[in-house]
């Protein structure tokens, strides 16, 4: 068993997540691809694949239990975070991964092909210019923008009924919450436990205020 797989197994054992053999292999495969491409294309500042397991994989998949609905878009996905790990964990849900940089989308297409992911659609576009044929149950963002910018730029993406914004944040983002536009409210803040990650992690769920 590879060092990456051994480390991943030990991290997952510290959570309540149920992760199948195939999912574990796909998560390791994703890290191996990210490490390989990162040397040439500088897709992430995290250089050590073992660190990627904590800072990218576990940091993403702990959100898995908090995804309401079936159809999601990951805006400013970068190299596919948190979208790829969440798609691996939730094969019954659909994920659209959006980024404006071609090298990131090329990488995601390679990941989708190599890992055989049937529920991921990569999209190269600026978020404010992207007009989906169908709206989304959830709009995900991680290290993308302030929550105010996120909801302003992505206001056209969630479904009118029950659509939510899901922002992955570090410390409790009180300052950002205070600056949200009038039409948007925080419905829930979930403290996330990420094994071996230094610092706090929170998932902030936002929605349109009901008229």
Is 208 flagged in the annotation as binding?
Answer: no
Q: Is 211 contained in some domain? A: no
Looking at residue 211, what is its pLDDT? 61
Q: Could you list the residue range(s) of the whole structural domain that residue 159 is in? A: 1-206
The three-state secondary structure class of 55 is: helix
Number of domains in the chain: 1
| pLDDT tens-digit readout, 119-134 | 999 999 999 999 999 9
| pLDDT tens-digit readout, 135-192 | 999 999 997 889 999 999 999 999 999 999 999 999 888 999 999 999 999 999 999 9
Tell how strand 71-75 and strand 184-191 pair up.
unpaired
Is 161 flagged in the annotation as binding?
Answer: no
Is 78 flagged in the annotation as binding?
Answer: no
Q: Is 30 contained in some domain? A: yes
User: Residue 39 belongs to a domain with what CATH number?
Assistant: 3.40.50.150
Q: Is 163 contained in some domain? A: yes
Is 186 flagged in the annotation as binding?
Answer: no
Structure-block tokens of residue 72:
């999601």
- In the chain, which residue ranges form alpha helices assigned H by DSSP? 3-12, 21-41, 49-52, 59-61, 83-89, 102-115, 147-153, 174-178
Global confidence as pTM: 0.97
Is 128 flagged in the annotation as binding?
Answer: yes
Looking at residue 191, what is its pLDDT? 97
């Amino acid at each position: 068993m590879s060092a990456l797989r051994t480390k991943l197994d030990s991290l997952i054992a510290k959570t309540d997540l149920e992760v199948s053999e195939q999912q574990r292999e796909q998560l390791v495969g994703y890290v191996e691809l990210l490490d390989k491409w990162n040397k040439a294309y500088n897709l992430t500042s995290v250089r050590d694949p073992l660190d990627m397991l904590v800072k990218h994989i576990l940091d993403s998949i702990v959100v898995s239990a908090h995804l309401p609905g079936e159809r999601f878009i990951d805006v400013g996905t970068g190299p596919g975070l948190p979208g790829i790990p969440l798609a691996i964990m939730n094969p019954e849900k659909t994920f659209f991964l959006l980024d404006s940089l071609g090298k990131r989308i090329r990488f995601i297409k390679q990941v989708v092909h190599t890992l055989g992911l049937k529920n991921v659609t990569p999209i190269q576009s600026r978020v404010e210019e992207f007009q989906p044929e169908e709206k989304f149950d959830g709009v995900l963002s991680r290290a993308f923008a302030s929550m105010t910018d996120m909801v302003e730029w992505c206001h056209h993406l969630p479904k009118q009924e029950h659509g939510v914004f899901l922002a992955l944040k570090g410390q409790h983002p009180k300052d950002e919450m205070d600056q949200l536009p009038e039409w948007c409210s925080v419905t829930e803040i979930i403290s996330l436990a990420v094994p071996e990650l230094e610092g706090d992690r929170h998932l902030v769920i936002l929605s349109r205020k009901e008229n």
